[in-house]
Amino acid sequence: MVRSCPSRRNPTVPRHDLRKVRVHVQRPRGGGGGRGLGDQPPQLEGPAPGGLSRRARFRLHFPQLALRRRLGQLSCMSRPTLKLRSWPLTVLYYLLPFGALRPLSRVGWRPVSRVALYKSVPTRLLSRAWGRLNQVELPHWLRRPVYSLYIWTFGVNMKEAAVEDLHHYRNLSEFFRRKLKPQARPVCGLHSVISPSDGKILNFGQVKNCEVEQVKGVTYSLESFLGPRTSTEDLPFPPATSCSSFRSQLVTREGNELYHCVIYLAPGDYHCFHSPTDWTVSHRRHFPGSLMSVNPGMARWIKELFCHNERVVLTGDWKHGFFSLTAVGATNVGSIRIYFDRDLHTNSPRYSKGSYNDFSFVTHANKEGIPMRKGEHLGEFNLGSTIVLIFEAPKDFNFKLKAGQKIRFGEALGSL
């Protein structure tokens, strides 16, 4: 016995609500000429509601369907093409008022995150361009207006400068790296560790679980920041298998602890940094990387920001054991200069992500390294950046600081 089934396209089926109409489109599975299944018109299921033809129903659903198909092609594109196609929409998504592009999220489109969007900005290229612009000599008549605008914007105190005459500085670079009067920054002799620069205290305290806080509540890995520990012969130790083993490579004396202090240099601050204590520099490690802004707001936004940015890590020893000073680069601050290290070149056009360059100051002729006195000139930035101190000290070491306070070079950080 043969059973006959009613046709699905029977026009005599009772009316249905338009919201229950479904549109199905099949895509061709492969390229090639001719019509494939995906080139056929969409098949409509469900009966036609009264007064509406099948073509009219398809026309009602077509805009959303076309947008889905268009945006769905992004997943098949290469990564660079995907960025070019989706980022213009992402920029408009964040800039346009009243959520003008939010309906796009209903058809499957998702904007690139703000962090990923910011990381894509060519900050290294912009910093090199800014560095070259800083070297351009300004006409004599233009120097006072330009420098006065900068002084007014960032609150620079020119009364502390060794040369107060603005016409003396031929370009912006000389103005950024201006020297101070000798009496402007007296060095505190009562405390064992002083501030290496002017700036703002972002965070300080004892290092716990091999993690350091860049700002309150946002941490980064100590090993990722400093890199693997090296010996005096400049040979890497075996990789640390746990947090405790890496910490044991840094803490050389029983009963000591690791401490850290993060100082942010604003654009209007004094841009040179000095030795924070009496110590010996034995090793330099240069991490090429990004040059994202390191202001406190950005540090709260991007996790492990200091590990992504270009930085120069100086390590050595002081009277209580391990001591390190790290100069972290930032946007428009690709130039990090260490006065006694002429082989250091930062913000190179090309670099390998995650790589680093080591240089040892311990040689056969100099088996100790570079001795530094407290307050001695150590290096300089262009514009502003961050200094991170990580050092070993006894358990009774106390900081004389408050989070968020302004500090100047020569003032006390802490002592025993």
HEC secondary structure over 262-313: EEECCCCCCCEEECCCCEEEEEEEEECCECCCCCHHHHHHCCCHHHHECEEE
**Residues recognised as catalytic:** 198, 274, 385
- In the three-class reduction of DSSP (H, G, I as helix; E, B as strand; rest coil), residue 106 is classed as helix
Please name which of 16, 405, 390 lies closest in space to residue 226, comparing C-alpha atoms: 390
Instruction: Give pLDDT, residue 31.
Output: 46
Q: Which residues contact 389 (CB under 8 A, 6 or more apart)?
A: 193, 196, 259, 260, 261, 262, 263, 276, 323, 324, 325, 326, 413
User: How many angstroms from the chain centroid is the CA of residue 303?
Assistant: 8
Interatomic CA distance for residues 274 and 381, integer angstroms = 12
Given this model, what pLDDT does residue 121 score?
A: 75
Q: Which amino acid is at 27?
A: R
CB 204 within 8 A of CB 393: no
Nearest to 264 by CA among 204, 184, 192: 204
Q: Do 18 and 45 meet the contact criterion of CB atoms below 8 Å apart? A: no
3-state class (DSSP) for residue 212: strand
- Which DSSP category does 148 fall into? H
> What is the pTM assigned to this prediction?
0.70
Q: Which of 258, 208, 192, 245 is nearest to 392 (CA)?
A: 258
The first and second tokens of residue 79, run together, are: 């990564």
Q: What is the DSSP letter of 401?
A: -
Is 338 in a helix, a strand, or coil? strand
Pairing relationship of beta strands 406-407 and 377-381 according to DSSP bridges = unpaired
Question: Would you give per-residue pLDDT tens digits along the chain (416 residues)?
Answer: 444 444 444 444 444 444 444 444 454 544 444 444 444 554 444 454 555 555 555 444 445 445 455 545 544 545 554 444 555 656 555 555 545 556 655 555 555 556 666 667 777 777 778 778 888 899 999 999 999 999 999 889 999 999 999 999 999 888 888 889 988 899 988 888 999 999 999 889 888 888 877 666 677 788 888 888 765 444 344 444 456 677 778 888 888 999 999 998 888 888 899 999 999 999 999 998 777 777 777 777 777 777 888 899 999 999 999 999 999 887 765 578 899 998 888 877 776 777 888 999 988 888 888 999 999 999 988 766 889 999 999 998 999 888 889 999 999 998 87
